[in-house]
Structure 1
Amino acid sequence: MTLSIHAPFLPADDLEASLSFYRDILGFEVREEGPNGITVEPPGGQGTTIVLRPPAADPRLTGEERATIAELMAKGCYATILLATRDLIATFDRIQATGADVVQEPLTHPHGVRDCAFRDPAGNLVRIEQR
């Protein structure tokens, strides 16, 4: 059996602000828009998409669970996504120039990974690793 990652979900309490970040700042393309979320993907449709979805769109959640998620999102510790680039410095500089919320400037970790990090408008941690 061979599996691949198709569409992770990221919470987005303000779809327009999140769409602006992923489309206008990161350069992703809109694949699908609906009342329960927006699907974006890297340019050229590389096979993996991201669904930006308001937590309130999940009918299985109670009001208390929605409040907990909103609290965690506000703290910036609810969701993380790891992206990859070939040129970390150029990518970082371009994103930083837009005024995006920088969490970590480019750095090489002791285990050899070189990355940086931003927060999207919903508070999700967006790590970008050089590959």
Structure 2
Amino acid sequence: MNFVSIRVITTDVQRLARFYEEITGMAVTMYTPDFGELVTPACTLAIGSTRTLQLFGGDIARPADNHTAILEFRVGDVDAEFDRLSGTLAGAIVQEPTTMPWGNRSLLFRDPDGNLVNFFTPVTAEAIRKFDKQGA
């Protein structure tokens, strides 16, 4: 088995697609006006509109109502990303770059729908080894 993607449901696919393109520097491939994907080497972030829920049987997810998941992206230098995105993330920062007890330096912020996003860089020898083994 291989975990390949996570899907975020939104009322505004274009807004979220533009946001994730800006913060990652990667293009979102739009397959329809209701569905797009940001493909990274490790995983895919799918962005679907509320209209796609009908294909799964109806009202099964609520957009902008996530209180449990954090979307995480490994970046080369979390402090540089914080500086680069300071204007984009104004008012959305939950935690400025902080070194966590498990060895990652982490920047936590919210996307336009309020989903938590974590940019992190492994900084301790153990964390670096862990992610090098994963190929992430």
Answer whether TM exceeds 0.5 for this pair: yes
4+ residue segments displaced more than 3 Å:
none
CA distances 1:62-108 after superposition (whole Å, capped 9, x unpaired): 3xx55xx24xx25x525421111120100111122324511110001
2:52 pairs with one of 46, 54, 57: 57
CA distance in 2 between partners of 1:114 and 1:47 (Å) = 19
Gaps of 5+ in 2: 123-136
CA distance in 1, matches of 2:80, 2:93: 14
Query: Does the CA contact (< 8 Å) of 1:7 and 1:48 recur in 2?
Result: yes
TM-score, normalised with respect to structure 1: 0.75
The one of 9, 12, 15 equivalent to 1:11 is 9
Q: How does 1:1-131 map to 2 (within 5 A)?
A: 3-42=1-40, 46=41, 48-59=43-54, 60-62=57-59, 69-70=62-63, 73=64, 77=67, 79-100=69-90, 101-131=92-122
Q: Percent identity?
A: 27
Higher relative contact order by CA 8 Å / sep ≥ 6: 1 or 2? 1
* TM-score normalised by structure 2 residue count: 0.73
RMSD: 2.2
